[in-house]
Structure 1
Amino acid sequence: MSTAYWQQVRSAEMKVPTDRPLADLTAELTTMLGSPDPVDRDEFAYPILATWIAEGVYDDLLAGLGDGMAAGLTQGLGESGTDSVFRRSFSALVLAECIGRDNAESRLPPVKIMEWGDRVTGWLVRERDVRGFVPGKGWAHAIAHGADALGVLAQSVHFGLTELTVLLDVVADRVLLETAAPLSSGEPDRLALATMTILRRRLVPLRIIEPWLARLTAAATATGAPDTDPYRVTGNPEAFLRALHIQVALAPEPIDVRADLLLELVSALRTTNAAYLIAPT
């Protein structure tokens, strides 16, 4: 359909059109999620699908819709610098909407949410295209969208201590992966926000958080060979530690382990910034 058709849908408060079957509309919007045109993705496909999910249009079809989005996570996986990233990244956003709908309305069996959790986490640690804003094509933002999906998963009643601990490990795995360029489009902040959502469940004790944090700290202080850029290894974990420190310290809704975690984070940042904290002579 033409851009004018979807503009009309948006102008009509995103009501479901009656001139075409829902299946056909959904298939077209799903294709548009992978469009290199940011208008198709950001102004039409994602907001319309998200609105219809939130309004219950897909309540009886939620499992199928989510499965379609989960399949989109693998399209072109392993590529970097190609347009396939848009389908993966925006599929993650729509899948998060499906999970969020279940969080609110309990529409799906636990096994389905667990399956989607496996699909999201498996994709996120294998995603190699870490571009944020792509000139002429808009936001790719796969890592940020993956972080958002982790945050929605963390709110599921089907996720207990074991699953939340896995999500924390996935955050660390993603942060510790070396990237060709630093994550510089808010991804560390979004990953930190997902971490805060996990910790707000009040299920993960400090005894699990401490070794997780130590792993990140060690990576942020790693030294490589003299002929390699150490910041390619340390930059992302350092940015994440700083983002998490800010959110733990300043978030209006504090987490249960706030005081202890702040002490741990200050110690970590003191270690990773030792060169800048030397007393003046």
Structure 2
Amino acid sequence: MTNEQELKRELQAIQENHYAVPEDVDAYPYAQWMLDAIGSTDAELRDHLIYSTLAKWITNGVFREKELRGLLLQALSEDYLFYGIGEVGTNSVFKRAFSVLIPPLVLTVHKIKPFLSQEQLYSVAEQILEYVYLEKDVRGYIEGKGWAHATAHVADALYALARSMHEREFAIELLRAVHYLIAKHDYVYIDGEDKRLANVIFAVYEKYILSTEEWKNWLCTFVSPKASRPQDSVLLQNVETFIRTLYFRAEKESAYELKQHILETLWELEGR
């Protein structure tokens, strides 16, 4: 039996027992075993067992604060979040895309009972934003291997940061990061990435720390010259889908002033 097969069998038993930590198990070293296999190409192991178990254990108080910091640092390290960074079409994306899901879990705990310093929060934000601009493999579902979904996963991390940090300058950085993620010329998002990124935008919006002019200026960055190349058509499709998602989300959130600015942006996009 391989190491991954053994881990899979044990995690299936844990899942069947409602994610209770086995009596003979020290949770933190066991989490290291899970993290060692978080980049597996086995979708059931990676997604349904490792991530689900870590999510339950992290958010349900299994780990001490010191251990949560350790998991956070490990997930953000070169061997995890930046493992094989820049590669496209390889299996390294699974390790990166699932490592970036660990910070939002830890930040969920921090949101309820703060234990990270401001300096530590900024360090987490800095590394996640660096990952945004370095990740080149944005595939969603990969046949035979399951979800990579790096854009959606990093959107969850940005959302958690938006809820944890309250500085205006950082809010602007988040808007820039979302724009960068949407403005892809080489991949059409088809797996709900727009909805996950819209969560980030409205987490920023509900803080009311940016002016109307700043929101209008940000929306204007999505309006560019008419597409003349095939890759421009990909960009336009991603942008228009996202702006429509923002519009309906603004309607749902009763964000009427923002909705009007979004509508004006949509008119400009569709009028070209």
Partners of 1:113 and 1:80 lie apart in 2 by 29
Superposed CA RMSD: 1.6
Deviations 1:7-39 (A, max 9, x none): 111112212223243343111111222111111
Matched, 1:166 2:173: yes
Partners of 2:28 and 2:105 lie apart in 1 by 18
Name stretches of at least 5 consecutive residues in structure 2 with no aligned partner: 1-5
Give 1:229 shift: 4.1
Name stretches of at least 5 consecutive residues in structure 1 with no aligned partner: 276-281
Matches within 5 A, 1:94-133: 94-133=102-141
Question: SS of the residue aligned with 1:217?
Answer: coil
Question: SS of the residue aligned with 1:108?
Answer: coil
Residue 219 of structure 2 aligns with which residue? Answer: 213
Contact 1:96-1:152 at 8 Å conserved across structures: yes
Q: 1:31 aligns with which of 22, 32, 36?
A: 36
Residue 244 of structure 1 aligns with which residue? Answer: 246
- What's the TM-score once normalised by structure 2's chain length? 0.91
Q: Paired residues, what number?
A: 264
Residue 22 of structure 1 aligns with which residue? Answer: 27
Contact 1:193-1:244 at 8 Å conserved across structures: no
Partners of 1:204 and 1:177 lie apart in 2 by 26
Q: 1:4 aligns with which of 6, 9, 13?
A: 9
Partners of 2:166 and 2:45 lie apart in 1 by 34
Residue 3 of structure 2 aligns with which residue? Answer: none
Residue 228 of structure 2 aligns with which residue? Answer: 224
Give 1:43 shift: 1.5
Residue 69 of structure 2 aligns with which residue? Answer: 63
Give 1:235 shift: 2.1
Question: SS of the residue aligned with 2:103?
Answer: helix
Deviations 1:150-202 (A, max 9, x none): 1111110x432111111111111221242x22111111121112111111122
Question: SS of the residue aligned with 1:80?
Answer: coil
Matched, 1:80 2:88: yes
State the percentage of identical aligned residues: 27
- What's the TM-score once normalised by structure 1's chain length? 0.89
Residue 139 of structure 1 aligns with which residue? Answer: 147
Matched, 1:268 2:265: yes
Partners of 1:185 and 1:223 lie apart in 2 by 23
